């Protein structure tokens, strides 16, 4: 909670690189396209500063509000992302309520409520009334939000399409009542206009745990199911966030619950300072402008990670200055020298303990809950670095079961646990899936296409700064380092899938064989009884035992390595087999967290599942099930 309350004390800046771009270039471009003759004087008369809000209002597609359907989804996404971030920062297991109320054919009211730490009253107007205002931009910490645009953009879109202000009810203190505010954004000034400010009385029902925030936005939208729908977004959110409980009331007034399947909060991600190799020249100049350090040496040591006194000295010397050079004397040329020096000097990679991956165990729990497949596997890569930013890739595969067998695989993409539903083809993770050679894993893959078959590929990138291709945070930019890690993780999972599929094929062959033998054995036993007088039943049993022994080989191998969780399924062909593949018996890879514990002690929430799946027998951890 402390970080949250402390965060906004940093001065919000609207002159960050992203924000600056629009203020400078668009007007000049505009002038070029003018057909009528204009003089410098007339043009000068037209020059005017453009507020960020104004720019985004005109370019709302950049923020994910291109069309009514997407706008509705983006609004929910921004609010839910914030809710989850807030809960996690507050150390609270998220309990999130989402309601989409249809007011007219194209008019909706979105309500998102969390049980997070709440927002102090003074901050509300800035958060909801100002673009590029947030606690997450000026730090390097793994979180869903990072730009300070999200919720205010949603509010702005609502205001623009319906004229209605955003309604915020927040309760930051257990003892004090909640406050209720209506905020309008003044786009021309990028400032909030407080429409009403009251104390909210009956907040017990809203915040049973004492704190929380509810955001209500009215907007023009369109509600459709299927791909890229709210439902899909929430389903995928549940997969990547098995520690969250989500309740969703649809426009049709149906309630869908996504129950929690892991009872622990992910570890709190650590905030880190930027790594020198990860910044661009412009950022370096900004940091120099903003630093509290007086001397360059101190600046390097204080404002960056992985720079100690000796490295600071080395950088300064390479740049032709000293530790003691005054920051205020560093001009553009010096900054450039400093930037070059940073590239030359060898530096330790940034710390990676700032990353909190979902973890294979929780990832499997999420997949098991959300995807009805037969085979699940997950892999978490060790952390790596792109452009000085630590990141970590995780991949999960779900295969078979109720997944459509005739279609191409489905890729579900996540960045810092947020599902990415748009611009799949632009996304690094999608490209990595295309790159993997699925043929090696017993799947067919037409050239340049996704593999075919009942497969869901989940890719998660965790990073202190996810390089999105645009502000709408829809696709991950294609960095070689990122793509490589993704491929490695896919290969790891793919190999396991391949092993399983090969084994499954063999198993099918074996059980077919067995059924052939079983069919004839009874006849043979009966005839032998009639010929010799031997007991047919005894004979039958002896032969059956032999048939099992002769066809048991493949089963045994599966038992040893494959951890069949529902063994009876092997005989009844259409039933699901849930398998968690063991780690390869590779000694280097020992002690991995996958599997065992997850399924031997199924997380409690799994038992209170209310989905269809719970009808199935509980996946008994040991293969105790005997053939009937």
Ligand X SMILES: Nc1ncnc2c1ncn2[C@@H]1O[C@H](COP(=O)(O)OP(=O)(O)OP(=O)(O)O)[C@@H](O)[C@H]1O
- For β-strands 455-463 and 410-415, DSSP reports them as parallel
Return the one option of Mg ion, another protein, ligand X, none that residue 326 interacts with (CB less than 5 to 8 A, by type): none
Choose between 479 and 517: whose C-beta lies nearer to another protein: 517
Q: How many residues bind Mg ion (CB under 5 A)?
A: 3
Build a one-symbol-per-residue string for 267-306: x at contacts with ligand X by CB under 6 A, - elsewhere.
----------------------------------------
Residue 617 in contact with residue 566, Cβ under 8 Å?
A: yes
Contact letters for ligand X, residues 145-164 (x by CB under 6 A): xxxxxxxx------------
Contact between 627 and another protein by CB under 8 A: the answer reads no
Q: Which residues contact 235 (CB under 8 A, 6 or more apart)?
A: 258, 370
Instruction: State in Å, rounded, how far the first CA of the chain is from the last one.
Output: 56
Please, which of residues 3-22 interact with ligand X by CB under 6 A?
4, 7
User: Using alpha carbons only, how large is the chain's radius of gyration in Å?
Assistant: 29
Residue from 12, 64, 116, 158 binding ligand X (CB under 6 A): 116
Candidate ranges 139-147, 394-402, 412-420, 610-618; the one touching ligand X (CB under 6 A):
139-147
Q: Among residues 16, 238, 393, 543, which is the contact residue for another protein, using CB under 8 A? A: 543
Q: Which two tokens stand for residue 583?
A: 């780690």
Among 94, 129, 145, 595, binds Mg ion (CB under 5 A): 145
Out of another protein, Mg ion, ligand X, none, which partner does residue 538 contact, by CB within 5 to 8 A per kind? another protein
Q: What is the DSSP string of 99-144?
A: EEEE-SSSEEEEEEEE-S----HHHHHHHHH-TT--SSTTSB---S
Of 64 and 150, the one with the shorter C-beta distance to Mg ion is 150
Q: Which is nearer to another protein, 60 or 514 (CB)?
A: 514
DSSP string covering 467-528, please? -BSSTT--SB---HHHHHHHHHHHHHHHHHHHHHHHHHHHHHHHHHHHHHHHHHHHHHHHHH
Separation of CA 195 from chain center = 35
Task: Round to whole Å and give the CA distance between 389 and 394.
Answer: 16
**In the set 268, 523, 559, 560, which binds another protein (CB under 8 A)?**
523
Among 94, 134, 401, 562, binds ligand X (CB under 6 A): 134
Which sign does the torsion angle of CA 14, 19, 20, 25 carry?
A: negative
Cα gap 137→122, rounded to integer Å: 19
Cβ-contact 420, 411 below 8 angstroms: no
Q: Which stretch binds Mg ion (CB under 5 A): 26-34, 91-99, 143-151, 493-501?
A: 143-151
**616 forms part of the interface with another protein (CB under 8 A):** no
Q: Binder to ligand X among 71, 72, 86, 319 (CB under 6 A)? A: 86
Question: How far apart (Å, rounded) are the C-alpha atoms in residues 623 and 291?
Answer: 62
Which of another protein, Mg ion, ligand X, none does residue 479 bind to, with CB < 5 to 8 Å depending on kind?
A: none
Cα–Cα distance measured from residue 157 to residue 61, given in angstroms and rounded to the nearest whole number: 11
Of 150 and 401, CB closest to ligand X: 150
Selected binder of Mg ion within 150, 370, 390, 581 (CB under 5 A): 150
- Contact pick of 324, 405, 534, 552 for another protein (by CB under 8 A): 534
Assess 531 for contact with another protein (CB under 8 A): yes
Task: Give me the sign of the Cα torsion angle 592, 596, 601, 607.
Answer: positive
- Member of 194, 206, 281, 528 binding another protein (CB under 8 A): 528
Tokens, residue 46: 């037209």
Beta bridge partners of residue 246, listed in sequence order: 96, 258
Closest of 197, 166, 205, 209 to residue 79, by C-alpha: 166
Q: Could you tell me how many residues of this chain bind ligand X (CB under 6 A)?
A: 23
Contact call for residues 176 and 211 (beta carbons, < 8 A): no
Query: Could you say whether residue 546 binds another protein (CB under 8 A)?
Result: yes
68-102: buried (b, 16+ CB within 10 Å) or exposed (e) per residue? bebbbbbbbbbbbbbbbbbbbbbebbbbbbbbbee
Mark residues 498-517: x for contact with another protein by CB under 8 A, - for none: ---------------x--xx
**Angstrom distances, CA of residue 616 to CA of 395, 565, 602:** 26, 12, 14
Least distance in angstroms from the C-beta of 151 to Mg ion: 5
Pairing mode of beta strands 245-249, 95-102: parallel
- Fill in the per-residue mask, 199 to 228: x = in contact with ligand X (CB under 6 A), - = not in contact: --------------x---------------
Residue 534 contacts which entry, another protein, ligand X, Mg ion, none (Cβ below 5-8 A, type-dependent): another protein
Stretch that binds another protein, among 320-328, 388-396, 434-442, 537-545 (CB under 8 A): 537-545
Stretch that binds another protein, among 31-39, 100-108, 455-463, 538-546 (CB under 8 A): 538-546
- CA atoms of 114 and 101, how far apart (whole Å): 18
Q: Which of 30, 530, 604, 617 binds another protein (CB under 8 A)?
A: 530
Instruction: Quote the CA–CA distance of 401 and 579 in Å, as a whole number.
Output: 11
Q: Using CB distances below 5 to 8 A depending on partner kind, what does residue 519 bind out of ligand X, another protein, Mg ion, none?
A: another protein
Report the interface residues with another protein, using CB under 8 A.
513, 516-517, 519-525, 527-528, 530-532, 534, 538-539, 542-543, 545-547, 549-550
Report the interface residues with Mg ion, using CB under 5 A.
82, 145, 150
Report the interface residues with ligand X, using CB under 6 A.
4, 7, 78, 81-83, 86, 114, 116, 119, 127, 134-136, 145-152, 213
């Amino acid at each position: 909670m402390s970080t949250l309350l402390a965060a906004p004390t940093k001065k919000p800046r609207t002159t960050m690189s992203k924000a600056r771009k629009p203020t400078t270039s668009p007007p000049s471009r505009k002038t070029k396209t003018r057909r009528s003759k204009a003089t410098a004087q007339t043009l000068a008369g037209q020059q005017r500063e453009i507020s960020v809000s104004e720019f985004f209002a005109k370019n709302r597609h950049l923020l994910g509000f291109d069309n009514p359907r997407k706008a509705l989804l983006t609004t929910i996404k921004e609010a839910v992302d914030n809710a989850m971030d807030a809960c996690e920062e507050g150390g609270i297991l998220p309990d999130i309520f989402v309601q989409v109320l249809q007011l007219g054919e194209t008019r909706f009211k979105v309500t998102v409520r969390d049980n997070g730490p709440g927002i102090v009253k003074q901050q509300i107007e800035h958060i909801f009334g100002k673009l590029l205002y947030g606690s997450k931009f000026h730090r390097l910490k793994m979180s869903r939000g990072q730009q300070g645009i999200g919720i205010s953009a949603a509010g702005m879109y609502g205001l623009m399409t319906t004229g209605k202000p955003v309604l915020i009810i927040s309760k930051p203190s257990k003892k004090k009542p909640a406050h209720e505010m209506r905020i309008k954004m003044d786009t021309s000034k990028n400032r909030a206009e407080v429409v009403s400010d009251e104390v909210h009385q009956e907040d017990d029902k809203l915040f049973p745990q004492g704190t929380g925030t509810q955001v209500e936005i009215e907007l023009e939208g369109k509600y459709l199911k299927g791909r890229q729908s709210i439902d899909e977004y929430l389903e995928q959110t549940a997969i990547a966030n098995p520690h969250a409980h989500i309740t969703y009331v649809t426009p049709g007034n149906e309630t869908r619950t996504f129950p929690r399947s892991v009872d622990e909060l992910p570890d709190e991600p650590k905030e880190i300072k930027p790594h020198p190799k990860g910044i661009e020249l412009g950022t370096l100049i900004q940091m120099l402008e903003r630093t509290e350090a007086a001397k360059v040496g101190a600046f390097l040591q204080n404002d960056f990670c992985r720079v100690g006194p000796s490295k600071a000295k080395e950088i300064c010397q390479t740049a032709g200055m000293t530790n003691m050079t005054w920051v205020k004397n560093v001009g553009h040329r010096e900054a450039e020298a400093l930037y070059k020096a940073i590239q030359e000097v060898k530096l330790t990679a940034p710390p990676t303990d700032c990353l909190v991956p979902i973890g294979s165990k929780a990832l499997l729990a999420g997949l098991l809950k959300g995807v009805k497949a037969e085979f699940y596997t997950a892999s978490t890569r060790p952390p790596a670095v792109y452009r000085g930013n630590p990141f970590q890739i995780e991949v999960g595969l779900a295969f078979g079961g109720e997944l459509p067998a005739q279609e191409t695989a489905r890729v579900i993409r996540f960045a810092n646990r947020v599902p990415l539903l748009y611009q799949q083809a632009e996304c690094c993770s999608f490209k990595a899936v295309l790159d993997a050679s699925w043929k090696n894993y017993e799947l067919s893959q037409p050239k340049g296409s996704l593999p075919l078959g009942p497969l869901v590929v989940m890719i998660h990138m965790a990073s202190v700064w996810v390089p999105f291709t645009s502000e709408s945070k829809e696709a991950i930019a294609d960095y070689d380092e990122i793509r490589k890690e993704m491929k490695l993780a896919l290969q790891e999972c793919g190999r396991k899938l391949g092993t399983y599929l090969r084994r499954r094929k063999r198993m099918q062959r074996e059980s077919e064989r067995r059924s052939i033998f079983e069919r004839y054995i009874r006849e043979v036993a009966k005839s032998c009884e009639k010929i010799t007088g031997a007991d047919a039943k005894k004979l039958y049993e002896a032969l059956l035992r032999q048939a099992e022994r002769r066809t048991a080989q493949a089963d045994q191998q599966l038992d040893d390595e494959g951890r069949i969780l529902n063994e009876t399924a092997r005989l009844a062909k259409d039933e699901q087999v849930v398998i968690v593949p063991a780690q390869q018996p590779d000694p280097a890879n020992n002690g991995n967290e996958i599997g065992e514990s997850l399924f031997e002690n199924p997380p409690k929430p799994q038992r209170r599942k209310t989905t269809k799946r719970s009808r199935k027998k509980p996946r008994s951890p040991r293969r105790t099930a005997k053939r009937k």
